[in-house]
Amino acid sequence: MTRTLLPVLTMLGALVVLWYLAVAPMNIRVALDQAERAGADVVPEGSVARRDVSVWRLMAQNGEHIRAGYDLNRPRLPTPAQVGQELWKTTGEMAMKGRAWSKRSLIYHGWITLKSTLWGFLLGTTLGIIGAVAIVYSRVADMSLMPWAIISQTIPIVALAPMIIVLSSQIGVEERGLPKAIISAYLCYFPVLVGMVKGLRAPEVSQLDLLRTYDASGVQSFLKLRLPASVPYLFTSLKVGIAAALVGTIVGELPTGAISGLGARILIGDQFGTPLAIWSALFAAAILAGLLVTLLDLAQRIALRRMGATP
């Protein structure tokens, strides 16, 4: 644990430093425009004249205004501290005031996204496991399904996302959760399918033969040998799958006028020109992904220990 903790922290620290360094050149133009409007002297004058001057020269000529770039209301690139503040303002602070479920709180939007993600994850995992069982037990399914499962993942589903949303609303499903769940299930079923096929085929011939000498039926050898043997593979692909499901939900929220969910926050932040809202929604999505994967990792450790695996 400590062997990786220190390097990870070093890398994260380096990233934050790089980020802070990048803020100055990214925001210098906005900062200079603002300073000029406030009456300060800026070289060269007028934002049109500055457009052809490189940011490095602007920074060298207007050293005293660089600091202003770190404290803008609508920065091109906010500082990590600004993003952190915004994140806290829309989660912890609102929760403490008892407004956790307000429409402006990221907890509410995160919950909407989480709900669709979990539905999609459930649907995708079920489809993936059923598909894997079919593929392992039936030659026809193996030969006809497997190539299409691979091809399905090379098709950019986002092209279909607006279609799925429009289709389901025309069929009469007004609830936005369903189309989003379908998109995330589409992204999530594949890792589960591939992992489960591998896992169900993991038992060796000698083990299957042993069960045959016990006169075990097909169902028995499935329940007592193939299924337990596939559990480590299942958990590994579930971790990939839940991250994919979250990506799917957010993609489903991005394209067409959704109003709730983290993806919708990104869209709204774009339309209203509030970069801080976009960045804080992005970070909330990252935190959500981290939480979900960690939870599954924990479940995997507990399940494998219960099943007698040595760590």
Partner 1 sequence: MSALGLALAFWIGAWLLNIWLANSRWRDTRAVRIAVPVLFGVTLLVLWEGIVRGLNVSPVILPAPSVVAQTFAASTDLLWVDFVQTVLKGALRGYVIGFVAAVLCAIAIDRSAFLTRGLLPIGNFFAALPIVGVAPIMVNWFGFDWQSKAAVVVVMVFFPILVNMVQGLRATDAMQRDLMRTYAASYTQTLIKLRLPAAMPFLFNGMKIATTLALVGAIVAEYFGSPTRGMGFRISTGVGSLSIDLVWAEIAVAAMVGTGFYGLMAWIEKRVTFWHPSQRN
Q: Cβ(131)–Cβ(145) under 8 Å?
A: yes
3-class SS of residue 107: helix
Q: Least CB distance from residue 37 to partner 1, whole Å? A: 21
270 sits near partner 1 (criterion: CB under 8 A): yes
Q: Which helix (H) or strand (E) covers residue 125, if one does?
A: helix 106-137
Q: Which of 236, 239, 242, 237 is nearest to 285 (CA)?
A: 242
Question: Looking at beta carbons only, is 42 or 253 nearer to partner 1?
Answer: 253
Only segment of 35-43, 62-70, 157-165, 205-213 that touches partner 1 (CB under 8 A): 157-165
CA distances from 253 to 83, 101, 190, 242 (A): 22, 19, 21, 17
The answer to whether the peptide bond before residue 147 is cis (omega within 30 degrees of 0) is no
- Considering only residues 236 to 255 of the shown chain, the ones binding partner 1 according to CB under 8 A are 240, 243, 246-247, 250-251, 254-255
Question: Does 7 sit behind a cis peptide bond, omega within 30 degrees of 0 on the bond before it?
Answer: no
The correct pick among 51, 63, 98, 170 for binding partner 1 (CB under 8 A) is: 170
Total site size for partner 1, rule CB under 8 A: 60
Which listed range, 58-66, 80-88, 214-222, 288-296, lies at the site for partner 1 (CB under 8 A)? 288-296
Interatomic CA distance for residues 275 and 260, integer angstroms = 17
Nearer to partner 1, 132 or 276 (CB): 276
Where on the chain is the footprint of partner 1 (CB under 8 A)?
Answer: 3-4, 6-12, 15, 76, 139-140, 142-148, 151, 153-160, 162-163, 166-167, 170-171, 240, 243, 246-247, 250-251, 254-256, 262-263, 266-267, 269-270, 275, 278-279, 281-282, 285-286, 289-290, 293
